[in-house]
């Protein structure tokens, strides 16, 4: 799966999280690292994609909420503009191993 994610790309996935199905956004940074957040805007609780798996990006590359235009820095998920400025997307810990993205922090032996 990791090889299928373009660098600086966004991917919508669904997974089980805390016993419930959760929609996530994965971002593979240009250095190859992967970050994940819940696919929920902190402003109105709506999904950030405008169609399933389709995301808006701002001129500076930030993730833009399709509903109210909040902009989120992909380095940390912090809202840098819009109605929830200063709030953040809820981060979900992930790590990469064996060419895949796994939920949770990397094991101590990695």
pTM to 2 decimal places: 0.91
Contact by Cβ (8 Å): 29, 74: yes
pLDDT in tens, the chain (110 residues): 688 888 999 999 999 998 999 999 999 999 999 999 999 999 989 999 999 999 999 999 999 999 999 999 999 999 999 999 999 999 999 999 999 999 998 887 65
pLDDT for 110? 58
The answer to whether the beta carbons of residues 56 and 63 sit under 8 Å apart is yes
* Alpha-helical runs (H) found in the chain: none
Domains and CATH numbers, the chain: 2-103 (2.102.10.10)
Angstrom distance (rounded) from CA 93 to CA 90: 10
């Amino acid at each position: 799966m990791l090889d299928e994610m373009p660098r600086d790309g966004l991917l919508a996935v669904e997974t089980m999280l805390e016993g419930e199905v959760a929609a996530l956004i994965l971002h593979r940074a240009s250095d190859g690292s992967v970050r994940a957040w819940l696919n929920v805007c902190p402003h109105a609780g709506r999904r950030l994609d405008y169609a399933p798996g389709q995301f808006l990006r701002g001129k500076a590359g930030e993730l833009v909420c399709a509903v109210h235009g909040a902009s989120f820095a992909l380095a940390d998920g912090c809202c840098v503009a819009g109605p929830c400025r200063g709030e953040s997307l809820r981060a979900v810990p992930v790590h990469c191993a064996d060419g895949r993205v796994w939920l949770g922090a990397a094991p101590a032996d990695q």
